[in-house]
Amino acid sequence: MPVPHDQPRSIDRRVRVQGAPVDSYPALPPEAGRGSVRRITVVGEEILSHPCREVTEFGTPELSALIDDMFRTMYVADGAGLAANQVGVDLRLFVYDCPDDRGIRHVGHIINPVLDQPDAGRRRLIDDFEGCLSVPGAAMAVPRTDRAVARGFDKDGAPLVIEGTGYFARCLQHETDHLLGHTYIDRLSKRDRRDALRQMEDRRADVFAQREAKSAGLAR
Catalytic residue IDs: 175
- CA dist 137 and 170 (Å) reads 18
DSSP string, 93-142: EEEEEEE-TTS-EEEEEEEEEEEE---GGG--EEEEEEE-TTSTT-EEEE
Q: Find the helix or strand (DSSP H, E) in which 21 lies.
A: strand 20-22
Longest CA pairwise span in the chain (Å): 52
Q: For the chain, state the CA radius of gyration.
A: 16
